[in-house]
Structure 1
């Protein structure tokens, strides 16, 4: 990175693939935690636009250790998690967004958890554990194992979304359940909610067609 002045930086990449897989985030209010597992280093950045940061290391550490143990064949040397809490978006419209990269993943949370409220705290912890496990599992597919459309970064939709999202979603929950990071009740609650969402989408699709 080359700093031209206080407001302009130049960041160069060798190719398009490196560009899209290298998120750049500027923040004056962030916290940094690190986790070391064997020969792997994991960075956890947390940013809040409200000026305070949240220590979520204790929430995600068991997830990171467990899921990367399942993916030990990938030989990850360093991986970065970036959590951004942004209250400027109405949480009633969207709760969160996340995106995986070969050496990092970014999590954009649109609501600030109220840790003094037990229910809010429990729901937040469950969401974070679930999302983090899901994004880590993407290292297996589609990042490592994928079809030519995904591998070549084409804009057309792959026909294997069931694998890239469906398999990853179920497997991430299954790993959390097997390692007692989430309870059986939480596991079933998430699956039930997903089935309800599918049912609602199907009803909407039928209404649009008739």
Structure 2
């Protein structure tokens, strides 16, 4: 029942200034929005040709995007990269890669991972002890963590992935903030070992939040 309740709960991700203004109509303007992790200093933009806004992306351009992402994130190859309209859509799909069972999320962290795992049919618990994650069928870690910046060493993550893989489990590492973290701790280059999915977010570092873009590396 708790899993069903959690799945039905809509998590407020922040970022809605319209909702904030409605709740606090007399607040001083402009708002200083600290509710999202999107980089407010966007990557330098350039003039787009009109065709960029009038055509659907060709499959070849998607492959090109995967190749660039593999290079930027140090994934083994473009074949290990799935590009999607934001990482949010990926969460329940990735959680579904593990058969419904016991999902453990290392917290405190981004609450949507718990909801997504529940949607995928898992019994979900947030834990604060890394060692406990070895008992999961699905273990989820945000690294570097949101909101406290906690970093789990790559070696420890690989050891955990090995334990989970031995019993058919899955380790999901959300590296949304790794672009400004210690890249040596990323698991992006290790996904060929199996049983590991790494999530990367475009907007956290590059900004351009209106461009919905995220990646799964597996």
Q: Same fold (TM over 0.5)?
A: no
Q: TM-score, normalised by structure 2?
A: 0.23
Question: 1 or 2 for the larger relative contact order (CA 8 Å, sep ≥6)?
Answer: 2
